[in-house]
Structure 1
Amino acid sequence: MDFCKYELKGGSCMILKDKGYSGKNTDRPEFQRLLDEIRKGKVRRVIVYKLDRISRSILDFANMMELFQEYDVEFVSSTEKFDTSTPMGRAMLNICIVFAQLERETIQKRVTDAYYSRCLKGFHMSGQAPYGFRLEPTTVEGIRTKMMVPDPAAADHVRLMFEMYAEPGTSFGDISRYFEENDIKVHGKSLFRPFLSQLLRNPVYAQADLELYEFFKSQGAAVVNDAADFAGTNGCYLYQGRDVKEDKDRSLKDQILVIAPHEGIVSSDTWLKCRKKLMANITFQNGRKARNTWLA
């Protein structure tokens, strides 16, 4: 801010900050406020500390500069000293915004690669533990992370869900009604079908053995561990690959399966019965928007 104020030579200004927002797009409250003020004719000059503080997208920056020119607004970068009144200055400005976008995309790629690397090593990738587990600190390959440990009461509820759904005639509704009638709460709330559907698909609960290994191989998943690692004790992590377009009921193609450090709480046989039952369920396409009825 001090650098920017120096450019004012003591003149008055309006300070706009978008703290916590990335410059990768223009969907930022204070930036949109700036554009509104420009359109009202209240802005003569826009001063930024550095070019990438206002935009890192070539298209967004080009549109912004068109607006500045339309309303005769001067653009100043206090540390890069661009003169937008000359063709050479505008050309240099465009070259710098190209590099700002390249830097953003390079950072994204680096973060993605680090995430992918941690996936392959079986790290817990942040967030809350799935229902039935709690998190405890541990060390994997010299790196501090967290490992899931079964929570006794919640793990019993999870086993009950799997055992009930493994029965051919049992539906999500049957299980949720049973839990409601017996006053069994999940995270202090009633059991809902979408939550149950997600839980029954998660291999984090399965005691991974060779049958589970063969199942995921046959579904096209990328299994990181050797078959010998599937000893029927540990659970699994299922991560999305880099370019996955998943049909969550019918295909596991290009997803990544890794043996996890925690113990599974549901037998492989029971988990596979539930998974295959879920895959056999008929899914209906969401209805398209009505156009030709009086209710529309």
Structure 2
Amino acid sequence: MYDALYARQSIEKKDSISVESQLEYCRYETHGEACIEYTDKGFSGKDTNRPGFEKMMNDIRAGKIKRVIVYKLDRISRSILDFANMMEIFQKYHVEFVSSTEKFDTSTPIGRAMLNICIVFAQLERETIQKRVTDAYYARCKHGFYMGGRIPYGYRLINTVIDNTRTSMYEEVPEESEQLKLIYSMYADTDNSLGDIVRYLNEHQIKNLRGANWNTARISEMLRNPVYVQADIDVYQFFQNQGANIYNPASDFTGYNACYLYKGTVSTSRKQSDLSDKEIVLAPHKGFIPSKTWLACRIRCLNNRQSTKTCKPKNSWLIGKVKCGKCGYALTIRKAKTKWRRYFVCSQSGSRGSNCTGVGCTVYADVLEEYMLGAIKERLSEFQKLSCLSDTGEEQKHMTKKIRLTQIEEEIEKLLSRVSGAGSVLMKYIDEKVSELDAERKALQEEIVTANVTDTEGRLKQITNHVKTWETLSFEDRQAVVDTLIKVIRIADGNIEITWNI
């Protein structure tokens, strides 16, 4: 039987001890007796998935090893569970364990106790390092630094300096971006499916310039990516309504920069279409897809995740627009067990860790659909024209007003959050400030509505005709009308609040 010398080094750094140096310490403990050396270079101690370690454990089970010698405890394991399992195997095969620099005696209870205490601190150190690396990663993300990964189609990588730090950023590749503009414009038209786009590209011999084949999954990924969008206040409000954490203020969303989407620091098992707790950061590069086109495609992708192309009993053309007025999460469709009837329920009600108790009433899908169709008809009767701002100067003024409106709403929310526990003097200030902001908000809303009612008589006529022939419309056409007219529908305790796009 032999002594086993084990050494591990995750990465080579100046301040870390090399594998050869570790083995040199371990050889001293053998006093010249025969030994077998096992090494793992470039492997972390967070688990036991290491070839050298596994070979050593197999030799222990084969009865070849009498003693395992390491330079330091954390070289062999930094996990309490893994270490406990390893020590159980050592005891089963009567294998001694020696740390050359810590001098543990596993033959005594106090020695084993000290060994367990040390492994606890080894795991704490590993988790602390992981947390520090994660925090550093997201700190760099929020500054718009390039974080590696695959370069999106339509861009190339160039060197740049951000906040006196050398990094990289994306630059548009015109040949690729023209293909993406075509794809976005086609999908913004609800008559085209992802399959239609793939067939069109192939039939017209429009090749992917990076050698890959066009497919629906790849195109869908491109359509969801905010790295292409000219991010303006409408994009800001979209991500805000979807529950994403937005790092930059609304005033920075000027329609120039694109966005980075990160998964966020909160671990979640939600689907990719769910943007709750995701991180949105303005990127240093310029977007090349207009916000209206990008939002039309992104909302369509979102709705496709929540519904099918045909209106089956479990679906509703209101899916994706209806939110819980209490927690803000989407309402989903369920089917009653006793009879065929659909109803909306809060997706978070009853979920683990959620305090939402639901919307407070039964929301039957057919009743809500009938109510919303009536509301749409009434809304359309109030307007003769829809928004279409062609003049650049007027469009910029309109966008500035929308940014200010978003800022006012955020300021009011912050002030109201300070009401609890406020004294009389502070309450007076809050009341006056909220009243002042509310007056400004109403004035801006009137100006925005007035600006929206300009110059698209034909478009309004088209939508009005759709509504008149509602029963003959396809499921997707109904969703397209709702997407055009309605931003969000919130329901709580029998009250319905509709936020319109017009």
TM-score w.r.t. structure 1 length?
Answer: 0.92
Match of 1:256 in 2: 279
**DSSP-derived class of the 2:277 partner:** coil
CA distance in 2, matches of 1:72, 1:169: 72
CA distance in 1, matches of 2:58, 2:307: 45
Corresponding residue to 2:64 among 23, 30, 42: 42
CA distance in 2, matches of 1:185, 1:51: 56
Corresponding residue to 1:125 among 129, 136, 147: 147
User: Highest CA radius of gyration, 1 or 2?
Assistant: 2
Corresponding residue to 1:241 among 264, 269, 278: 264
**DSSP-derived class of the 2:191 partner:** coil
**DSSP-derived class of the 1:126 partner:** coil
Aligned length: 284
CA distance in 1, matches of 2:67, 2:163: 54
CA distance in 1, matches of 2:233, 2:195: 32
The one-letter amino acid of 1:192's match is N
CA distance in 2, matches of 1:244, 1:70: 38
CA distance in 1, matches of 2:143, 2:305: 35
User: 1:247 Cα deviation (Å)?
Assistant: 2.8
User: 1:262 Cα deviation (Å)?
Assistant: 0.2
CA distance in 2, matches of 1:104, 1:144: 29
TM-score w.r.t. structure 2 length?
Answer: 0.55
Q: For each residue in 1:196-252, what CA deviation from the matched residue of structure 2 results, as whole angstroms up to 9, or x when unmatched? A: 111110001000011111111111111111111111111011111111533322x31
Match of 2:93 in 1: 71
Corresponding residue to 1:29 among 45, 48, 51: 51
Q: Which has the higher contact order (CA 8 A, sep 6+)?
A: 1
Match of 2:113 in 1: 91
1:224 correspondence with 2:247: yes
User: 1:78 Cα deviation (Å)?
Assistant: 1.3
- Stretches (4+) displaced over 4 A: 282-285
CA distance in 1, matches of 2:212, 2:65: 53
User: 1:17 Cα deviation (Å)?
Assistant: 1.2
Unaligned runs of at least 5 residues, structure 1: 286-296
CA distance in 1, matches of 2:70, 2:203: 62
User: 1:283 Cα deviation (Å)?
Assistant: 5.3
CA distance in 2, matches of 1:8, 1:223: 59
Match of 1:10 in 2: 32
- Between 1:47-56 and 1:276-285, the stretch displaced more is 276-285
RMSD: 1.5
Q: For each residue in 1:79-127, what CA deviation from the matched residue of structure 2 results, as whole angstroms up to 9, or x when unmatched? A: 1111111112111111110110000000010011111211221222112
Q: For each residue in 1:251-278, what CA deviation from the matched residue of structure 2 results, as whole angstroms up to 9, or x when unmatched? A: 3111111111100010001000001111
User: 1:183 Cα deviation (Å)?
Assistant: 2.6
Match of 1:58 in 2: 80
CA distance in 1, matches of 2:306, 2:54: 42
CA distance in 1, matches of 2:267, 2:88: 38
